[in-house]
Structure 1
Amino acid sequence: MSGNGRQTALRLYLAVGCGAAIGSLTRFLSGYVIVSLLGLSALYATAFVNIVGSWVIMFFATLTRPDGRLMVGPAGRQFVTGGFCGGLTTFSAMSLDTFILLFEGDLGLAAIYLVSVVVLSLISAWLGYLMAARFNRLPTTR
């Protein structure tokens, strides 16, 4: 790999790593607010970050696609999608939450939780797409 190729690769690695650190911290702080300050179950914290993360990734991906309104390079795209959204969302925590409910014998709540988070995340992603697509069509001011 050439020196320029190594620089490009390093830039991508740093973008993903920095984005993931910020996303993970945002997930932690969201959980703190939802559980400690609002007194809600940790299930809400996991659901919240997955639903919000689904909106963010689709909104950003739509805004930055080739015909989108924002021109963002590979490092910027990876910072948000692979890094921030990857650090923010947490499929593994959702899986753990579901299994804890199952182990506690609450099959109904486990099913409702899992289906609700997946469906709401998909709806959130769809809304992110619709909002960004509409934003892409707005006239530019130059």
Structure 2
Amino acid sequence: MSATPATRWDVLLAIGAGGALGSLARYGLSVAIPHGRGEFAVATLVTNVLGCLLIGVLMAVLTTTARPHHLARPFLGVGVLGGFTTFSTFVADTLDAATTGRILASLGYVLASVALCLAAVTAGLTATRALRKGH
């Protein structure tokens, strides 16, 4: 009898442990790079761009590894990087900048976030695939 996804305690524990680590790392960056109300949220941007770069690296590794560990994606992708990156904070920071009269900064933040995050995923994926082909 095979386990259903809801009874895969190893996967749930891996996601929970990874999420705790990722969330702590995100909090650490927000403390290291604080910003005031309405200011450009550098920590959130750095967090999301770095997380996207690492997602690209992870996906390249997982798709080029013959038999990746079955907990690698749940722990690292869903857990660590899911807990680390933060769409909700990105949206809250964008709204905060807009509602404090910094409309252009808000729009710039949105455009920079989307462009840099897409570029980071692509760079991580491409660079990691190239490095793995070289070995």
Same fold (TM over 0.5): yes
Once the 2 structures are TM-superposed, how far is the Cα of residue 58 of structure 1 from its aligned partner? 1.1
Once the 2 structures are TM-superposed, how far is the Cα of residue 6 of structure 1 from its aligned partner? 6.5
Match of 2:87 among 85, 91, 106: 91
Deviations 1:48-106 (A, max 9, x none): 100000001111111111xx147422311110110011000000001001111111121
Pair 1:126-2:122 in alignment: yes
Do 1:21 and 1:87's aligned partners in 2 also have CA atoms closer than 8 Å? yes
Residue matched to 2:96: 100
Cα RMSD of the aligned pairs, angstroms, is 2.0
Residue matched to 2:18: 19
Determine the C-alpha separation between the residues in 2 that align with 1:74 and 1:83: 13
Deviations 1:4-60 (A, max 9, x none): 627971010011101100000000111111228xxxx66000001000000011111
Unaligned runs of 5+ in 2: none
Residue matched to 1:57: 55
Residue identity in the other structure for 1:55: L
Determine the C-alpha separation between the residues in 1 that align with 2:40 and 2:104: 18
Determine the C-alpha separation between the residues in 2 that align with 1:120 and 1:64: 23
1:70–1:118 distance in 2 versus 1, CA, 3 Å: farther
TM-score of the aligned structures, taking structure 1 as reference length: 0.84
Report SS of the residue matched to 1:64. helix
**Paired residues, number:** 131
TM-score of the aligned structures, taking structure 2 as reference length: 0.88
- Segments of 4+ in structure 1 off by > 4 A? none
Do 1:31 and 1:42's aligned partners in 2 also have CA atoms closer than 8 Å? no
Residue identity in the other structure for 2:16: G
